[in-house]
């Protein structure tokens, strides 16, 4: 008896979420017609499913504001992360450019004296005085 | 009223208000999934926020193959399951440090069910299900997705979802009966 009831209960549960075959449906209908217990079980299950379908957490009016605030914070963090991530590459590129420039100076001037690097050796003293007088 | 697609397009172009509308439109659905999975705990708020932040970051990748609600629910369920795994790891670490055979004390609010609203009872009953079963109940019975959609979201065979759903309902009924008997 209990085994038969268990079988019908399984069918009942399946019927709530999937389509039973015509044979199974007929079996279940007959069992429901005959068994008070099964009818009660069905009513309880339907009530529980109704309660679950209606279940919602308590409303949270400040939620969207918190999300937007969090997004702003994330954007700042993302920017910092980009800077931190790019820094080694930018630094490496600068070092390469610096070495290329120094290499170029050495190639043309034959040495790496400060005057050659900053380019003042090509300037006459008079030109330098004129530039200083004109406020450059 | 603007459609989701229109709001997504505006949000992709940097319109924050459009994104805020989307958050307001789907926050209850996302929170129901996350709170259903994690309970009314502070982490539930963090996870719900993370769902929208993750969505914001992938706005350009959203193809609209599924509805936005489904897309967000999928993110919500995955992040909730990850959070539950993290929670489990934390508990395990805690107990390995303690090295004592003590029974884990979880506050039992079921002592006075007459004071509880149905919402709280259902929320607590959900928390007593195993996470795999809970995810199915939340998607199928709370959010109302079909067995097929639930199976797709959880990447499980439909038969597994159907059988777990049947077991979960029996268990839930038992839990709710216990609540009302106390």
Q: Which of B35, B45, B142 sits opposite A53 (nearest CB)?
A: B142
Can you read off the two tokens belonging to residue A131? 């530039």
Mean pLDDT for chain A overall = 87
Can you read off the two tokens belonging to residue B160? 């597994």
pTM above 0.80, yes or no: no
Q: Is A52 on the interface with B (CB under 8 A)?
A: yes
Largest CA distance in chain A: 119
- Give the gap in angstroms from C-alpha B142 to the nearest C-alpha of chain A: 5
Q: What's the mean pLDDT in A110-127?
A: 75
Predicted confidence at residue A18, as pLDDT, reads: 86
Closest chain B residue by Cα to residue A78? B57
Q: What is the mean pLDDT of each run of 10 residues along chain B (182 residues)?
A: 90 92 95 94 94 92 87 95 89 64 45 62 91 95 94 94 93 87 70
Is residue A41 within 8 A of residue A28, CB to CB? The reply is no
Can you read off the two tokens belonging to residue B163? 């059988």
Q: How many CB atoms lie within 10 A of CB A45?
A: 18
Predicted confidence at residue A33, as pLDDT, reads: 95
pLDDT top residue among B18 and A83:
B18
Taking an 8 Å cut-off on Cβ atoms, the answer to whether A55 and B40 are in contact is no
Q: Indicate whether this complex's ipTM tops 0.85.
A: no
Chain A, window 114-133: residues with a beta carbon less than 8 angstroms from a chain B beta carbon: none
* pLDDT above 60 (res A78): yes
The DSSP secondary-structure symbol of A135 reads T
Rounded to whole angstroms, the Cα distance separating B91 from B88 reads: 5
Is residue A16 within 8 A of residue A49, CB to CB? The reply is yes
């Amino acid at each position: 008896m209990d085994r038969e009831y268990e079988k019908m209960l399984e069918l009942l549960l399946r019927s709530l979420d999937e389509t039973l075959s015509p044979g199974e449906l007929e079996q279940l209908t007959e069992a429901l017609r005959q068994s008070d217990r099964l009818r009660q079980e069905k009513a309880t299950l339907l009530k529980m499913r109704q309660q679950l379908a209606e279940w919602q957490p308590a409303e949270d009016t400040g939620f969207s504001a918190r999300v937007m605030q969090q997004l702003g914070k994330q954007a700042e963090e993302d920017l910092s992360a980009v800077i931190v991530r790019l820094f080694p590459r930018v630094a490496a590129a600068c070092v390469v450019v610096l070495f290329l420039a120094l290499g170029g100076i050495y190639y043309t001037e034959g040495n790496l004296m400060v005057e050659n690097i900053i380019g003042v050796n090509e300037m006459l003293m008079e030109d330098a005085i004129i530039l200083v007088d004109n406020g450059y | 009223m603007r459609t989701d697609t229109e709001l997504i397009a505006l949000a992709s172009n940097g319109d924050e208000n459009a994104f805020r509308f989307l958050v307001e439109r789907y926050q209850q659905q996302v929170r129901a999934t996350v709170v259903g999975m994690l309970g009314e705990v502070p982490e539930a708020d963090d996870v719900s926020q993370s769902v929208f932040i993750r969505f914001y970051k992938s706005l350009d990748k959203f193809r609209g193959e599924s509805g936005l609600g489904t897309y967000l629910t999928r993110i919500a369920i995955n992040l909730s399951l990850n959070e539950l795994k993290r929670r489990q790891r934390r508990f395990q670490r805690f107990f390995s440090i303690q090295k004592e055979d003590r029974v884990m004390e979880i506050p039992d609010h079921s002592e006075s069910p007459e004071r509880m609203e149905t919402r709280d009872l259902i929320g607590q009953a959900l928390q007593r299900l195993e996470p795999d079963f809970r995810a199915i109940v939340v998607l199928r019975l709370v959010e109302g997705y079909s067995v097929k959609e639930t199976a797709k979201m959880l990447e499980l065979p439909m038969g597994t979802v159907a059988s777990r759903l049947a077991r979960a309902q029996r268990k839930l009924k038992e839990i709710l009966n216990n609540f009302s008997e106390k």
